[in-house]
Chain A
Amino acid sequence: MILFHVKTLESEMIGLHTVVIGVIGADVHAVGNKIIDHVLREHGFNVVNIGVLSSQEDFINAAIETDAEAVMVSSLYGHGEMDCKHMKENMIEAGLGHVKLYVGGNIVVGKQAFKSVEERFKKMGFDRVYPPGSDIEKAVEDLKKDLG
């Protein structure tokens, strides 16, 4: 308990980066979402977790109100590509063009070569794309790099 408290204080002192996380679409996979939440907090991020079954609009509204610097979209059920369509455009429309946009999980239907998946998502405006089974620590490193 005391350890946890110290950690919170420490993260407050270094100035928080706010990151919105959630699972997009009709996807109810909650476990990975909780892990990401936990790990990001451990690393001193201010995590705004909007949970499962979240729409693009939910991510965008949350990012506006909390002045988030990054949005991390998870998807496990294979329909991520459809759910993420035009997300970058919608964020630009909402004045969030500067916000980093990450996506990760089983984000496409079936087994596809990750390279082509990554290319597609980057074309859609995502800054970072993570294949299934990625270590969240990798994303943390990237976040620290991207947010400075």
Chain B
Amino acid sequence: MRPHLLVDFGSTYTKLTAVDLDDEEIIGTSRAMTTVKTDVLEGFNQAMEKLQNAHPEMGEIEGVSACSSAAGGLKMAAIGLVEELTAEAAKRACLGAGALVEEVYTFRLGKKEIKQLKNKPIDIILLAGGTDGGNSDVIIHNAKKLAEASLDVPIIVAGNKDAADEIDAIFSAATLEYHIVDNVMPKLKKLNVDPAKKIIRKIFIDKIIEAKGIKQAEEKTGQIIMPTPESVLMAAELLSKGHEDEVGFGELMVVDIGGATTDVHTIGEGYPKRTEVILKGLQEPFAKRTVEGDLGMRYSANALVGLVSPYEFQQYYDYEDKDYSEAQIEQSVEKRQENVDYLPESDEEKAFDQALARICADYSMSRHVGTVEVVYTPLGNMYYQTGKDLTDIKYVIGTGGVLINQPNSKEILREVNKKSNKKLELRPSDAEFLIDEHYIMAAMGLLSQKHPRLALKLLKRHLK
């Protein structure tokens, strides 16, 4: 037996997955509360003890890989020029790197924005603006403002290459930590997020881990190599593409409903399926992630029910014909928000959780998928498509506590499907649903760094 340990320091739980590299099987999993406020190793040691007690045969661990979304995850601010273009490209780079995008700013930064940046717990700022050879005034103005503000936050510059030298001079004079990389949108509507993503990960490893008090975990786990959402995205990408002669699943989607956010990842081009459809807007990343900060089962339960009227809520709620009044909904939500590790016991409370999860799945899908719009032209009807067409997606994989712990989790996932009242949204129409029963997505993303073939095999075996 050659056990390899995969560790995910989550916002609530520290999760361990042990994999046997010889037998190519999962040995076991365990979890304990994340203890970032005291010593993050406490939670890790507890989980480790549980794992060793359950699997005394395991013996010595041969290797460890870890990811983290503890202590608020990776929080970023994205700055661009036009909202739909470089600002959106910058935002997508942040999301693809596994960050939470706290703020998106466009055009020239003013006092108000700088004040917000100072007051918010931002870990990294991504500064973009202008295509290569395009507008450089605004990004230079913004660089000056950031330099004047002397923020103690690393800044990544990924904008117009013509402005790079001037920004270099501004930032080096201000002795800031900064990194200049290739433009996130070098040509109009062309997305180039990989260089920015790479440097985000590097800063995360070098700096953020330490700032968040998770660094001491590294003596046990070795380097924490990425934010957790990025490893989920990597697992999804591996499962979709396959590895060498081991074929993948093709186009797929992962819906991760958590306590604070709902993340949706899709792997696939999502190009228009018909000739009369014309693609509009910024190029979509092949591996796309969106994060909804107002769609979560606990921390953001209040924001979540605020999105629907009590009548609409009833459409998602299914328990013995019971009608919920507005006050009752508020009460149930409060309970969850105040007590974030609350686990429902009665059937009624379970049904309430299911309703919340359904809203998460439905709304996150509306915001993730592309839409079509009809244009009446003298040559007949044409259609604009903005975003990805995901109608043909083959698999939808559900993960996150609520989906894993529910007996009818596939029922919840079905909310992502095409809907008669949301006809213009390009949602999945005939996908197969799989559940990440053992909570291994993030772990397999980590494992894929060194053992992609094994990670792929285990994913294929354990997603059901």
Nearest CB in chain A to that of B279: its residue:
A51
Is the CB of A134 closer than 8 A to any CB of chain B?
no
Is the CB of B169 closer than 8 A to any CB of chain A?
no
A28-B379, A65-B85 are known contacts. Are A50 and B188 too (CB-CB below 8 A)? yes
CB of A26 within 8 A of CB of B377, answer yes
Nearest CB in chain B to that of A53: its residue:
B278
CB of A61 within 8 A of CB of B133, answer no
**Residues of B with C-beta under 8 A to A129:** none
Is the CB of B185 closer than 8 A to any CB of chain A?
yes
Is the CB of A140 closer than 8 A to any CB of chain B?
no
Tell me which of B135, B136, B384 has the highest count of chain A C-beta atoms within 10 A of its own C-beta.
Answer: B135
Is the CB of B382 closer than 8 A to any CB of chain A?
yes
**Residues of A with C-beta under 8 A to B384:** 53
A28-B382, A67-B133, A67-B135 are known contacts. Are A61 and B377 too (CB-CB below 8 A)? no
**Residues of B with C-beta under 8 A to A74:** none
A53-B280, A53-B375, A78-B378 are known contacts. Are A65 and B82 too (CB-CB below 8 A)? yes
CB of B382 within 8 A of CB of A53, answer yes
Is the CB of A66 closer than 8 A to any CB of chain B?
yes
Is the CB of B81 closer than 8 A to any CB of chain A?
yes
Q: What is the distance, in angstroms, from A111's C-beta to the closest C-beta of chain B?
A: 16
Is the CB of B261 closer than 8 A to any CB of chain A?
no
A26-B382, A53-B280, A53-B384 are known contacts. Are A62 and B133 too (CB-CB below 8 A)? no
Q: What is the distance, in angstroms, from A121's C-beta to the closest C-beta of chain B?
A: 21
CB of A52 within 8 A of CB of B378, answer no
CB of A67 within 8 A of CB of B136, answer yes
Tell me which of A53, A58, A64, A65 has the highest count of chain B C-beta atoms within 10 A of its own C-beta.
Answer: A65
CB of A65 within 8 A of CB of B375, answer no
Nearest CB in chain B to that of A52: its residue:
B278
CB of B133 within 8 A of CB of A46, answer yes
**Residues of B with C-beta under 8 A to A48:** 131, 187-188
CB of A62 within 8 A of CB of B378, answer no
CB of A26 within 8 A of CB of B82, answer no
- CA A75 to CA B12, docked complex, whole Å: 57
Contact among A26, A27, A58, A65 for B134, CB-based, below 8 A: A65
Is the CB of B312 closer than 8 A to any CB of chain A?
no
**Residues of A with C-beta under 8 A to B81:** 64-65
102-150 of chain B: CB within 8 A of chain A: 130-131, 133-136
A48-B188, A61-B82, A66-B188 are known contacts. Are A18 and B278 too (CB-CB below 8 A)? no
Is the CB of B342 closer than 8 A to any CB of chain A?
no
**Residues of A with C-beta under 8 A to B136:** 67
CB of B84 within 8 A of CB of A61, answer yes
Number of interface residues of B (CB under 8 A): 23
Is the CB of A92 closer than 8 A to any CB of chain B?
no
**Residues of B with C-beta under 8 A to A67:** 130, 133-136
59-113 of chain A: CB within 8 A of chain B: 61-62, 64-68, 77-78
Q: What is the distance, in angstroms, from A140's C-beta to the closest C-beta of chain B?
A: 20
**Residues of A with C-beta under 8 A to B185:** 65
**Residues of B with C-beta under 8 A to A28:** 278, 377, 379, 382
**Residues of B with C-beta under 8 A to A66:** 130-131, 133-135, 188
What are the interface flags for B370-413 relative to A under an 8 Å C-beta threshold, 1 for contact and 0 otherwise?
00000111110010100000000000000000000000000000
Contact among A16, A50, A77 for B378, CB-based, below 8 A: A77
- CA A93 to CA B251, docked complex, whole Å: 43
- CA A51 to CA B279, docked complex, whole Å: 10
What are the interface flags for B137-175 relative to A under an 8 Å C-beta threshold, 1 for contact and 0 otherwise?
000000000000000000000000000000000000000
Is the CB of B65 closer than 8 A to any CB of chain A?
no
- CA A52 to CA B378, docked complex, whole Å: 14
Tell me which of B134, B136, B187, B278 has the highest count of chain A C-beta atoms within 10 A of its own C-beta.
Answer: B134
- CA A133 to CA B7, docked complex, whole Å: 68
**Residues of B with C-beta under 8 A to A61:** 82, 84-85
- CA A68 to CA B135, docked complex, whole Å: 8
- CA A51 to CA B278, docked complex, whole Å: 10
Nearest CB in chain A to that of B86: its residue:
A65
- CA A125 to CA B278, docked complex, whole Å: 30
- CA A65 to CA B185, docked complex, whole Å: 10
- CA A124 to CA B377, docked complex, whole Å: 24
20 contacts between A and B (CB under 8 A): A16-B133, A18-B134, A26-B378, A28-B379, A48-B187, A51-B278, A53-B278, A53-B280, A61-B85, A64-B81, A64-B135, A65-B81, A65-B135, A65-B185, A66-B134, A66-B135, A67-B130, A67-B134, A77-B377, A77-B378
18 additional A-B pairs beyond A48-B131, A66-B131, A77-B379, beta carbons within 8 Å, are: A18-B133, A26-B378, A26-B382, A28-B278, A48-B187, A52-B278, A53-B278, A61-B84, A61-B85, A62-B188, A65-B188, A66-B134, A66-B188, A67-B130, A67-B134, A67-B135, A67-B136, A77-B377
